[in-house]
């Protein structure tokens, strides 16, 4: 069970790094309109009830917990949940419900919003870009930060990672950090860059 959950975390994390935004649940109270991000209000066909908290855990808090479980996997699940003042039973309940919502939302807006919440607390040299992505997605606005590097330079990093990743020591985040160390970054930095460039492409294709 534990390995399955960690696999889901890795899949979600890698999907975000590559900019993949993959997404009716019954018996949910619809959040107040004032609590909804503008992108959710504007999305045609999106059910706002999907953003209702589960067992006291909001979508935003859930995304932050999942990010911490991945980014700080060396600290262990119990320590991360305690830091967020959430019990394992609460989180397990929310985890199953959120994954179900990702699958059930045919507009894919839920997982897009989840991705914005997930990435917004990323630390490191590209932290401003993580917040930029989140603001752009949640508010449906343009990116504000200048290009972190040339597109060609980013694609070289993507190619490097694609060649090296299959030979990682194991599937722990530290192993991917080690691979990307040759590029002067860790896997979280790589996630943020991937999400930022993907957001830029998405906005460009929409204009």
Is residue 39 within 8 Å of 138, Cβ to Cβ? yes
- Alpha-carbon gap, residue 133 to 111, rounded angstroms: 14
In 105-139, which positions are buried (b, 16+ CB within 10 angstroms) versus exposed (e)?
beeebbbbbbbbbbbbbbeeebeebbbbbbbbbbe
Indicate the Cα dihedral angle 31, 136, 86, 88, nearest 10°: 100
Of 205, 199, 155, which Cα lies nearest the Cα of 21? 199
Q: Of all residues in the chain, what percent carry a pLDDT higher than 70?
A: 82
Please give the pLDDT value at position 17.
43
Reported as a single tens digit per residue, the pLDDT across 32-54 is 445 678 888 878 888 889 999 99
Please give the pLDDT value at position 137.
94
What mean pLDDT value characterizes the chain? 85
Please give the pLDDT value at position 207.
41
Ranges of residues in the chain whose predicted pLDDT is under 70: 1-35, 205-207
Please give the pLDDT value at position 25.
33
Please give the pLDDT value at position 27.
37
pTM, whole model, 2 decimals?
A: 0.81
């Amino acid at each position: 069970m534990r390995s399955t959950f960690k696999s889901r975390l890795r899949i979600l994390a890698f999907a975000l790094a590559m900019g993949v935004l993959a997404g009716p649940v019954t018996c949910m109270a619809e959040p107040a309109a004032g609590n909804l991000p503008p992108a959710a209000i504007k999305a045609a066909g999106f059910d706002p009830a999907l953003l209702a908290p589960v067992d006291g855990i909001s979508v935003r808090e859930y995304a932050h917990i999942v990010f911490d479980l991945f980014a700080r996997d060396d600290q262990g699940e119990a320590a991360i949940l305690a830091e967020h003042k959430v019990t394992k039973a609460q989180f397990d309940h929310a985890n199953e419900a959120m994954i179900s919502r990702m699958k059930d939302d045919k507009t894919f807006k839920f997982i897009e919003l989840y991705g914005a919440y997930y990435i917004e607390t990323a630390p490191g040299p590209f932290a401003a870009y993580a917040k930029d992505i989140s603001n752009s997605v949640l508010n449906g606005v343009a990116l504000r930060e200048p290009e972190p590097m040339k597109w060609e330079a980013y694609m070289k990093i993507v190619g490097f990672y694609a060649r090296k990743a299959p030979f990682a020591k194991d599937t722990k985040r530290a192993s991917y950090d080690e691979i990307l160390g040759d590029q002067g970054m860790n896997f979280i930095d790589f996630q943020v860059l991937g999400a930022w460039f993907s957001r830029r492409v998405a906005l460009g294709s929409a204009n």
